[in-house]
Amino acid sequence: MGRTIALTGATGFLGRHIVRALVGRGARVVGVVRNPGKVPALAADGVELRRADLAEPDRLAEGFAGADVVVSNAALLPVRNWRRADHLRTNVRGTENVLNAAAAAGVGRVVHVSSVSAYAWGASGRIAEDHPLLDEDAGALTLAYGLSKALAERRAWQLATEHRLALTTLRPCLIYGAFDTNFMPIFAALARPAVTVMPAYTSIPMVYAGDVAEAVALAIEKPAAAGRAYNLAGDDVTLWQFFEAWRDAGGRAARVVVPIPFPYRLAYDTTRVRAELGWRSRPVGEALRETLALDPRPWRVSA
């Protein structure tokens, strides 16, 4: 790759996977983060860490100086905070600050990590990238995270036009993998007891963090990705199949599992990212084996 990539949220769950993918391609990675000392391993891997908060546009511009590309990845996640005002302030205003800072630093290329949560309700079948995003008129029952990601992406496209930035947005579904502090701990806690329950016939779109990171790298490498949005989702698997793959990969799992019938299915169309970027999602079993190999938490049977 041979480029300098400035990455917000480099010390977070997805950020650490993005760093791994970019460094593996020969990129120079600059992590623009709130707490540079959070993950000492990043500095040991040659990542330069610069301090800046999403609320500090001037510091962000300093952090982006000299970069060829900015990856806008940092965001407030719902498991930690459900308050709408906090999500709008962090995710929407933070995205505005990142795009404006990229322009101020003279960076012309931005990859923004959005979410399928940004889509408006009411879709049927596989949801493609042309489905409308939520807007300001979304009802009070709309989850704060989804609304904030929709408004943030809308604002990113507006600012990209104003500043003439080459923007790509990626819309992953539920992300899992090593270092996750949201879905994986909940799933592992559910899977761990000797006797547990597990939903059957429940298909919730998921994507491995390493595969999202690969999509970030591909979006940077392929000029045709500029001006495009891409859904990111793995193979269709039920939560029951995910549990079986977890157990087969060596994760700590119940000996007796009681199925709870809950027929539900949601799906996202990934034709565009596969055709235009050559992106592929790895099988869930392979992804979970890598998760267990990378993550030091006591999730393995032998732990």
* Token code pair at residue 272: 């565009």
Residue in 155, 157, 154, 166 with CA at minimum distance from that of residue 220: 166
Return the CA Rg of the chain: 19
DSSP assignment letter at 131: S
| Residue pair 169/112 in contact by the 8 Å Cβ criterion | yes
HEC sequence for 36-79: CCCCHHHHHCCCEEEECCCCCHHHHHHHHCCCCEEEECCCCCCC
145 is catalytic: yes
Which long-range CB contacts under 8 A does 221-224 form with residues at least 24 apart? 221/1, 221/25, 222/276, 222/277, 224/276
What distance lies between CA 71 and its chain's CA centroid? 11
* Token code pair at residue 269: 């169309």
d(C-alpha 77, C-alpha 73), whole Å: 12
* Residue at token pair 């996640």: 77
* Residue at token pair 């970069």: 67
Pick the catalytic residue: 145, 208, 230, 268?
A: 145
* Residue at token pair 């970027």: 277
HEC sequence for 207-260: EEHHHHHHHHHHHHHCHHHCCCEEEECCCCCCHHHHHHHHHHHCECCCCEEEEE
Residue in 125, 149, 135 with CA at minimum distance from that of residue 236: 125
Q: Active-site residue numbers? A: 145
